[in-house]
Structure 1
Amino acid sequence: MSTSSPETAVAPGITPPQVMREVLGHFPSGIVVITADGPEGPAGFTCQSFASLSLDPPLITFSPARSSTTWPRIREIGAFCINVLAEDHEHHSARFARSGTDKFAGVDWTPTPSGAPLLPGVSAWIDCELWKEYDGGDHTIVVGRVRHLAAHPARLPLLFYRGGYAVTAPADRA
């Protein structure tokens, strides 16, 4: 039984990028800002493709675009922080998604144990070191080994769903 609608059905083996984006936009994702601090100062970028990968060893994964100019700087540093944005952090999402600007201008932050920038009020943070990288088409699949992490249960995560921001409350807060 097919569940495709005529608007999203494509011929086998042919998947236009705009159709892929529209269909996969029906799956909500969290929004993170990945940060590091090195000799040239702090660096960071917004990323939606982030997930937990393994508990033993503790690993996470994310996928920056191959066109990213920030990921190569963070790769060189080798340690980074995943800042899980909270419900009122749309401004951080937009700021760190821009290219060619000083993304940290006017942004307060504190260093994590690795020295990476920790943004204030995040829902959670994960301090990592680069473990491995893999080819992911027009993206790079990055695996980070978790070194330190913490969560703030009172802070709801910012989500991205069907082209816009969203927030959801857990059942006990609904």
Structure 2
Amino acid sequence: MIDIDPFDHDAIRLRKAFGCFPSGVTAVCATVDGEPVGMAASSFTSVSVTPPLVSVCVQDTSETWPRLRTRTRLGLSVLAEGHDETCLSLSNKTGDRFAKVEWDQSVQGSIFVHGASLWLDCSLHAELPAGDHAIVVLEVHGLRADPDTPPLVFHGSRFRRLAAL
């Protein structure tokens, strides 16, 4: 029988523990009043095929999500290897997040990051409270995928790359 350490709700210890699980990194972006607005999110997952749904988790203190949630369409880009600086830029609290980001815009206002391995054109399907975050469920209306483009991976508070076999 093994013994599991009791958890004392230490946020730093919990973040390190959550960092043991590698995740992809996404950008959720749209135009707001004619300007690009976006944020990075590493808690992306597929949810359903019928209907086509994905989710990201957004911190309750986000100042970007309230601006994005009202958009008819949102672009979700799965960031690729080499998008380290793009991710950091989209995570900034101040300044022009898109200054060094190459992007395209759809007719509906979704913004997609150049070179991403996956683009999903989405709309807000549901938003569920979950602790200090919201689980945002997005319905997929269109996609463009490049499965041969390796993803950017976040693990142990660092960007990583997948190793080829």
* TM-score normalised per structure 1: 0.88
Equivalent residues in 2 for 1:74-153 (5 A)?
74-112=68-106, 114-153=108-147
Q: Does the aligned pair in 2 maintain the 1:113–1:148 contact within 8 Å?
A: no
- Residue 79 of structure 1 deviates from its aligned partner by 1.7
Aligned equivalents of 2:118, 2:65: Cα separation in 1: 21
Aligned equivalents of 1:162, 1:24: Cα separation in 2: 8
- Residue 139 of structure 1 deviates from its aligned partner by 0.7
Percent identity between the aligned chains?
A: 33
Aligned equivalents of 1:78, 1:99: Cα separation in 2: 24
Q: Quick check: 1:49 aligned with 2:46?
A: no
Q: Quick check: 1:10 aligned with 2:11?
A: no
What does the per-residue CA deviation read over 1:77-133, in whole Å, with 9 as the maximum and x for residues that have no partner?
132111101011001110000012111124331113532111110011111000110
Task: Write the letter of the residue equivalent to 1:158.
Answer: L
Q: Does the aligned pair in 2 maintain the 1:113–1:127 contact within 8 Å?
A: no
**1:165 alignment counterpart:** 159
Aligned equivalents of 1:29, 1:136: Cα separation in 2: 19
Q: Does the aligned pair in 1 maintain the 2:29–2:37 contact within 8 Å?
A: yes
Instruction: Count how many residue pairs are aligned between Structure 1 and Structure 2.
Output: 165
Runs of 5+ consecutive residues of structure 1 not aligned to the other structure = none
Structure showing greater radius of gyration is: 1
- Residue 48 of structure 1 deviates from its aligned partner by 0.7
> 3-state DSSP class of the match of 1:63?
strand
Task: Write the letter of the residue equivalent to 1:54.
Answer: S
What does the per-residue CA deviation read over 1:46-85, in whole Å, with 9 as the maximum and x for residues that have no partner?
1111100111111001111111111000001132111101
Give the stretch that moved more between structures: 114-123 or 28-37.
114-123
**2:53 alignment counterpart:** 59
Task: Write the letter of the residue equivalent to 2:158.
Answer: G
Q: Does the aligned pair in 1 maintain the 2:72–2:108 contact within 8 Å?
A: no
Task: Write the letter of the residue equivalent to 1:82.
Answer: L
Closer, same or farther: CA 119–106 of 1 in aligned 2, 3 Å: same
- Residue 157 of structure 1 deviates from its aligned partner by 0.2
Task: Write the letter of the residue equivalent to 1:22.
Answer: K
CA RMSD of aligned residues (A): 1.5
> 3-state DSSP class of the match of 2:122?
strand
Aligned equivalents of 1:54, 1:137: Cα separation in 2: 23
Q: Quick check: 1:33 aligned with 2:35?
A: no
